[in-house]
Amino acid sequence: MQFDKELDARGLSCPLPILKTKKALNELTSGQVLKVVATDPGSVKDMQAFATQTGNPLLSSGEENKDFVFFLKKK
Amino acid sequence: MATHAETGIEIAPGTALDRAISDRIDDLLERRLEAKLAEIRAAKTPSMTIIATKGTLDWAYPPFILASTGAALGWDVSIFFTFYGLELLKKDLRKLKVSPLGNPAMPMKMPMGPQWFKSIQWNIPNAVQSLIPAYEHFATKMMKKTIKNTGVAPIGELRSLCLEAGVNLIACQMTVDLFGYKHEQFIPEVKEYCGAATFLPMARDADVSLFI
């Protein structure tokens, strides 16, 4: 998937992946896509909830070599 | 005089028109209220108030984790620090300690060594814990090492993230007086020093209010 910025949140625990995602989204403009890579298993549910709450659509959520990979679109 | 079947509101006798209007309003209200309420909910910025009352390294986490996450979700967040919670506003957070003494729920594991060693649960009786010199210092060191190993943020970083995200940090003036603190001991970002009468109206308007 095409993306405009990548955030490496590997090795970070709750709530850091979400906080860093929020910060990274702030640097994007509307319509741009952020890729987030995390290792915290809790981030799968949390990223979904974050997307719903903030209105930034979660385009995809998946696993890649033990990493969790998310694509978020800035609203 | 007739009364409306559901609301009990009195309807002037002989006015069929009034009755028709009343029924029509009921009908419309039912259909529109839900949509209107959803609209109001969507337009309101959610808010959260937290009361932080604990001053140990372990209990420093919940208020800052919840506050920073709430702020990341776009909520207005305020934390009211009272009693031992004021320790979390000190300039230097490195002095926060954790004590396993009298804390039976705290897992006692070593953060270093081979896996079999790390998974040992050390059940040390309270009486023994209390006799070991610098036991708390040792336990705090182990806890900090575990925090680092598991990628959990140092508490100072979490507090900075809260401030950066606009979380309001409010201190209880009564506790400051009670324990003889000086305002200079606390970070300058403390928004205000106040009492219960200031906090409660904030909590009343908040969607989420937590006591930690």
Query: What are the domain boundaries of chain B?
Result: 2-43, 48-211
Neighbouring residues of A71: CB distance < 8 A, sequence distance ≥ 6: A1, A3, A33, A34, A35, A36, A58, A59, A60, A61
Give CATH superfamily name and number for B48-211. Answer: DsrEFH-like (3.40.1260.10)
- Please compute the mean of the pLDDT values over residues B122-142 and round it to a whole number: 84
The alpha carbons of chain A give a radius of gyration, in whole angstroms, of 11
- CATH architecture observed for domain A5-73: 2-Layer Sandwich (3.30)
Whether B28 shows a pLDDT value over 80: the answer reads yes
pLDDT at B14: 63
Whether B127 shows a pLDDT value over 90: the answer reads no
For residue B151, list chain A residues with Cβ-Cβ distance below 8 A. Answer: 11-13, 16, 39-40
Angle ∠(B98,B103,B107) on CA atoms, nearest 5: 80
Which one of B61, B161, B208 makes the best mutation probe of the A interface by having the most chain A beta carbons within 10 Å?
Answer: B161
pLDDT at B11: 62
Whether B132 shows a pLDDT value over 80: the answer reads yes
Average pLDDT across chain B, whole number: 88
Contact A19 B72 (CB under 8 A): yes
DSSP B120: -
Sign of the Cα pseudo-torsion (B76, B53, B177, B95, in order): negative
Tell me the two tokens of residue B155: 């508490």
pLDDT at B113: 83
- Please compute the mean of the pLDDT values over residues A6-12 and round it to a whole number: 93
pLDDT digits (tens, 9 = 90+) for A15-57: 999 999 999 999 999 999 999 999 999 999 999 999 999 999 9
Q: What is the largest CA-CA distance in chain B?
A: 91
Query: What are the domain boundaries of chain A?
Result: 5-73
Whether A5 shows a pLDDT value over 80: the answer reads yes
ipTM: 0.83
The span from the CA of B195 to the CA of A40, in Å, is 39
pLDDT at B12: 63
pLDDT at B2: 60
Residue A5 CA: distances (Å) to CA of A50, A59, A65, A70: 18, 14, 20, 12
CB B101 within 8 A of CB B56: no
pLDDT at B8: 74
- Please compute the mean of the pLDDT values over residues A4-14 and round it to a whole number: 92
Considering chain B, what percentage of its residues have pLDDT values greater than 70?
95
Report the range of poorest mean pLDDT among A38-47, B5-14, B58-67, B194-203.
B5-14
Edge-to-edge strand ranges of the sheet holding A58-64? A5-9, A33-38, A67-73, A58-64
The span from the CA of B129 to the CA of B107, in Å, is 14
B147 vs B80, higher pLDDT:
B80
CB pairs under 8 A between A and B: 33
Report the range of poorest mean pLDDT among A9-23, A25-39, B35-49, B108-122.
B108-122
Considering chain B, what percentage of its residues have pLDDT values greater than 90?
48
B20 vs B104, higher pLDDT:
B20
For residue A50, list chain B residues with Cβ-Cβ distance below 8 A. Answer: 72-73
